[in-house]
Amino acid sequence: MSSITDESFPEIRESVRRLCAQFPGTYWQALDRDRTYPTRFVQALTEAGFLSVLIPEAYGGSGLGLGAAIAILEEVHRSGCNGGACHAQMYTMGTLLKHGSQAQKAQYLPRIATGELRLQAFGVTEPGAGTDTTRIATTARLDGDAYVVNGQKLWISRAEHSDLMILLVRTTPRDQAAKSSDGMSVLLVDLREAVGQGLTIRPVRTMLNHATTELFFENLRVPAENLIGVEGQGFRYILDGMNAERILIASECIGDGKFFVDRASAYARDREVFGRPIGQNQGVQFPIARAHVQIAAAELMVQRAAALFDAGRPCGSEANMGKLLASEASWAAGDTCLQTHGGFGFAEEYDIERKFRETRLYQVAPISTNLILSHVATHVLGMPKSF
């Protein structure tokens, strides 16, 4: 399936495809069965410089924009691999690069670029807050030269496989802040020092291999110098990371959608029933064609969101719309691919069922869909959010 993004960063895309060819479906199936982290794959991406694409050249990265990053992750997923094991290293740059101090960037970015350090954890979500981030209850109190952190986080991926974590906390109680989004701050937590010293990480078993965890903080001391930006303005900093996250995950959905259309098309051409390929039947052709149309349309919105982000312009609505459209398009493409394969779609060896489950992770849940639509409605109607 061809599209306009095939023309962007062609050398990067070809390099990613060659790298991913070394990690076929059997590699991912084995990891899935044992629920283990794809260490070898992440190391290969790191050594090739793909995970440091957003880090400035002065710190050892490529110094490219989000457009290059989405090309990388799209090709990773179109190749049948899974960028979920390491994509956080890209979108956390939206917070650290834009709002970190020069000292913080000089200390951490070169070692992140080489792979010596992994910044793979993004600690925002809490069980009592859900998608209403302003209601987080994890607190950080300044005590001398350190912040003392107490609270809980949930659905935090890769915490067991990361050295550093971007953590959102409340430094001013919500009822004492001028606005509900005020009084939150961002800390850069060194997980190597934190675990066992006030931080407990517990794995959460889910329907797919995604290294999901729950975090418990009990009087964890984080050096005050690890505060990113200005105390109390963390929500705005996190939004930059969230916009990047939505755009990057949307690009993974585009890659998944193309994977499904590619596989469905190939199977429809090769599979013969009643003496002819099933792809000659409109009942098989049209759903695949519709999936192609939906992916291509979503891709345009994702490209626009990335262009706005790279230009430093507001992109919240576009990032939200891109993720919504891309996640729904990839899910529809996955369903079409599964239906095209029939019973074989459920067989592990065809590698459709694994990707189908992985795509479900990125399919926006109902409450998140409502949050996105509320955000967009606020922009379109000029009215307050409905929740």
- Rounded to whole angstroms, the Cα distance separating 353 from 42 reads 23
Spell out the residues 6+ positions from residue 30 whose beta carbon is closer than 8 angstroms to its own. none
Orientation angle between helical segments 352-362 and 234-270, nearest 10 degrees: 150
Say what the pLDDT of residue 375 is: 65
Q: Would you state the structure tokens that stand for residue 85, as one six-digit string? A: 């094991």
User: What pLDDT shows up at residue 201?
Assistant: 97
- Reduced to 3 states, what is the DSSP secondary structure of residue 108? helix
H or E element, residue 113 = helix 102-114
pLDDT of residue 383: 61
CA 83/CA 41 separation, integer angstroms: 9
Concatenate the DSSP letters of all residues of 31-89 into one string.
HHHHT---HHHHHHHHHTTSTTTTS-GGGTS----HHHHHHHHHHHHHTT--GGGTTHH
The CA-based angle 8-12-13, given to 5 degrees, is: 70
Find the helix packing angle between 316-341 and 234-270, rounded to 10°.
Answer: 30
Angstrom distance (rounded) from CA 147 to CA 139:
9
The pLDDT value recorded for residue 7 is 65
Task: Tell me the CB-side half-sphere exposure of residue 320, using CA atoms within 13 A.
Answer: 16
Which residues are CB-contacts of 313 (< 8 A; sequence separation ≥ 6)?
A: none
Both tokens assigned to 313:
């312009």
Q: Please indicate whether residue 245 is annotated as part of the active site.
A: yes
pLDDT of 5 reads 44
Angle between helix 66-78 and helix 10-20 axes, rounded to 10 deg:
40
Long-range Cβ pairs for the range 367-370 (8 Å, 24+)? 367/130, 367/131, 368/131, 369/324
Residue type, 181: S
234/225 Cα distance (integer angstroms) = 15
Distance CA(161)–CA(168), nearest Å, equals 19
Quickly list DSSP for 75-92. Answer: HHHHTT--GGGTTHHHHT
What pLDDT does 202 receive?
96
The DSSP string of 212-254 is: EEEEEEEEEEEEGGGEESSTTBHHHHHHHHHHHHHHHHHHHHH
Quick one: tokens of 184? 């939150």
Exposure b/e, 138-170, CB count within 10 A at least 16 = b: bbbeeeeebbbbbbbbbbbbbbbbbbbbbbbbb
Q: What is the pLDDT of residue 211?
A: 84
Gyration radius from the chain CA atoms: 21
- Candidates 75, 231, 245, 252; catalytic one: 245
pTM score, whole prediction: 0.90
Q: Are 330 and 262 in contact (CB under 8 A)?
A: no
Tens-binned pLDDT, residue by residue, of the chain (387 aa)? 444 445 689 999 999 999 999 999 999 999 999 989 999 999 999 999 999 999 999 999 999 999 999 999 999 999 999 999 889 899 888 899 999 999 999 999 999 999 999 999 999 999 998 778 899 999 999 999 999 999 999 999 999 999 999 999 999 999 999 999 999 999 999 999 999 999 999 999 888 777 889 999 999 999 999 999 999 999 999 988 889 999 999 999 999 999 999 999 999 999 999 999 999 999 999 999 999 999 999 999 999 999 999 999 999 889 999 999 999 999 999 999 999 999 999 999 999 999 999 887 665 544 455 566 666 777 677 666 544
